Amino acid sequence: MDQARVLAMRTAVESPSSYGHRYLNVVMVFEVASAEETEDYYIITLAFRPQDNFAGSPGREQFFIEKEGSIEHRQVVRIPGWRFPTIPVAVALGAVVMVAAIVVAALVISGGGDGGEPAAEAVPTGTPLVVPTATARSVSSEGTGPEALIAAAGDLPFNPVWVRVGDMSASRSGHAAAVLDDGRVLVTGGFGRSGGSAEIFDPVTQRFSLTGKLVTSRAQHSATLLEDGKVLIVGGCTTRSAEVYDPASGIFSRTQGQMSVPRSRHTATLLADGRVLIAGGECGSGSLKTAEIFDPATGTFTATAENMVTPRHAHRAILLPNNEVLLVAGVVGQPGSSVGCPQAGDLYDPVADSFRRTGDRANRFTCDELNVNVAASLLANSLVLVVGKSEELELYDPSHETFSLGARVQVRVGGTATLLPSGMVLLAGGSRSAGGRVLDTAQVYDPIQDIVVAAITLNIPRYGHTATPLHNGDVLFIGGRTGQADLATAELFVSTTRTAESP
């Protein structure tokens, strides 16, 4: 373990990764924040910050080091975030103007900062806090544009209500969530100490409870509900192995086979025939072009007959009505170096077991590793809604294989897009930019009118969370990050006409 710490520290000092434009050519100070041993790896987390005149929260970088002493993967968990002091009330007017000017200049130079959000107020486990329906506050024109059509929350066909539920047993980001057949939600893994644990959310009691431990600690993995009611857990850079969770026993067990390579930030899509397509991802050596199929009948993985047209990770996959799979957006490149955004989508045909290129995206932009994020949702009209770091939504038409621009929205990095029972889409959370202010705002997109409707704000700002649609139509928001820390909190978005009640 000591040698792993030394290796991680030496590598970070001698070959620093790219931490975004504001930290180009900045000398960093590193220290070991935590060290964990798994079955296959030592996981060393380093805290790092600029050497001089820095009063913010440190960044985090993780190293996955094999037992024989080689680095399998390194990844930036978060970049340092600036924090500015509170200005006293009793100051002269001239001093206020001067300080304000300095703060504005610092924000411009630094690119925004994390806003220094206060820590979330703790809520006892299993004690829901019902937030009354309220008139939505106006959405800023920033990020929406003058052409945006913004309606009030009162124009929604339902009463939007946020309900605080019991906290998880551990703070989680980089985790995965899957709804079980009985309506409960399985939450697995995440960065740090939560990587090997799992818990169950019960929508009746609105509480989390621990379940069996993962065979292998994982983060940035996937969780897919299989046709037999079990859940396939795949990925994370700690191992090529996969495991299956059995809700009847609460036990995780390894699959008979394993993937060809470790993958994180990949996609896992349940196909119409019950198999699972595992596509793309990365694990320190750049975006993957390979894909493989998991067969639940044999518990094994088989490489697809053809590779993807474009290598990518941090993308999204949508099963289309014709049973093909659309892979859209993401990143192509190697973490910590020059990266770009794939402009075209990939379509996977499960019958031919092949990929082909589909239309180019309507939004054309460059991206970097820290700024890219995309959310996608299949609408009731069979169009695919794509939300990226642009101010404009995109709509993919499978019948013509083309992308077109939709309504203007607030930019969300690390936010989510969730289809509601009404056919509308909830856009929630995220941040203004990588390392920027974390958002507590939510908007509802109406695909029929192609307009955005303002909704009431979340209880807690969060990004990098999971948003899971429940059987009763509610959406469960779990974990993620706000300000300087991972979150153990969760909340429900109630979009039905019924009144939210405490259990």
The reply to whether 26 falls in a domain is yes
Question: E strands, 79-211, where?
Answer: 129-130, 150-151, 161-164, 176-179, 185-188, 198-202, 207-210
Cα–Cα distance measured from residue 414 to residue 2, given in angstroms and rounded to the nearest whole number: 34
Q: Last residue of a domain, which of 12, 44, 78? A: 78
Amino acid 149: pLDDT: 45
The reply to whether 413 falls in a domain is yes
How much of the chain is in helix, strand and coil states, percent to nearest 5?
A: 10, 40, 55
Cα–Cα distance measured from residue 444 to residue 273, given in angstroms and rounded to the nearest whole number: 33
Q: Last residue of a domain, which of 43, 78, 113? A: 78
CA angle 462, 465, 468 (to 5 degrees): 125
Contact (Cβ atoms closer than 8 angstroms) between residue 358 and residue 347: yes
The reply to whether 285 falls in a domain is no
Q: Last residue of a domain, which of 23, 45, 78? A: 78
Q: For residue 262, give the 3-state DSSP assignment.
A: coil
Q: List all residues 6 or more positions away from 83 whose beta carbon is below 8 Å from its beta carbon.
A: 55, 56, 57, 113, 114, 116
Whether residues 65 and 162 fall in one domain: no
Cα–Cα distance measured from residue 235 to residue 282, given in angstroms and rounded to the nearest whole number: 10
Q: Pull the structure tokens for residue 43.
A: 């996981």
Whether residues 421 and 499 fall in one domain: yes
Whether residues 430 and 374 fall in one domain: yes
Cα–Cα distance measured from residue 230 to residue 213, given in angstroms and rounded to the nearest whole number: 15
Cα–Cα distance measured from residue 328 to residue 316, given in angstroms and rounded to the nearest whole number: 6
H or E segment and range at residue 356 = strand 354-360
Amino acid 107: pLDDT: 36
Whether residues 417 and 503 fall in one domain: yes
The reply to whether 503 falls in a domain is yes
Amino acid 126: pLDDT: 35
Amino acid 414: pLDDT: 81
Amino acid 61: pLDDT: 81
The reply to whether 114 falls in a domain is no
Whether residues 142 and 46 fall in one domain: no
Whether residues 43 and 140 fall in one domain: no
Whether residues 51 and 150 fall in one domain: no
Whether residues 148 and 57 fall in one domain: no
Work out whether strand 354-360 and strand 384-387 pair parallel, antiparallel, or are unpaired. Answer: unpaired
Q: List all residues 6 or more positions away from 241 whose beta carbon is below 8 Å from its beta carbon.
A: 215, 216, 254, 255, 258, 259
Ordered strands of the 176-179 beta sheet: 176-179, 185-188, 198-202, 207-210
Whether residues 54 and 133 fall in one domain: no
Q: For residue 269, give the 3-state DSSP assignment.
A: strand
Q: For residue 359, give the 3-state DSSP assignment.
A: strand
Give Cα 271 to chain centroid, integer Å. 22
Domain that holds residue 74: 2-78
The reply to whether 95 falls in a domain is no
The reply to whether 488 falls in a domain is yes
Residues of the chain with confidence (pLDDT) below 70 = 16-25, 39-40, 53, 55, 72-73, 75-79, 81-154, 334-339, 364-373, 389, 433-435, 496-503
Bridge partners for 438 per DSSP: 431
pTM of the entire structure? 0.72
Q: Pull the structure tokens for residue 461.
A: 């700002």
Whether residues 371 and 487 fall in one domain: yes
The reply to whether 354 falls in a domain is no
Cα–Cα distance measured from residue 21 to residue 108, given in angstroms and rounded to the nearest whole number: 12
Whether residues 68 and 126 fall in one domain: no
Amino acid 435: pLDDT: 64
Please tell me the total number of residues recorded for the chain in this structure: 503
Amino acid 31: pLDDT: 87
**Taking Cα atoms as reference points, which of 335, 236, 219, 222 lies closest to residue 284?**
335
Whether residues 63 and 148 fall in one domain: no
- How far apart, in Å, are the Cα atoms of 173 and each of 128, 170, 189, 330, 487? 22, 10, 8, 19, 7
Q: What is the CA radius of gyration of the chain?
A: 22
End-to-end CA distance of the chain: 47
Identify the CATH number of the domain in which residue 39 sits: 3.10.450
Q: For residue 193, give the 3-state DSSP assignment.
A: helix
Residues 396-414 pLDDT 10s: 999 999 999 888 888 787 8
Amino acid 388: pLDDT: 72
On the 0-12 / 13-18 / 19+ scale of CB atoms within 10 A, 404 is middle
Number of domains in the chain: 2
Amino acid 40: pLDDT: 66
Identify the CATH number of the domain in which residue 161 sits: 2.120.10.80
**Taking Cα atoms as reference points, which of 220, 258, 284, 274 lies closest to residue 66?**
284
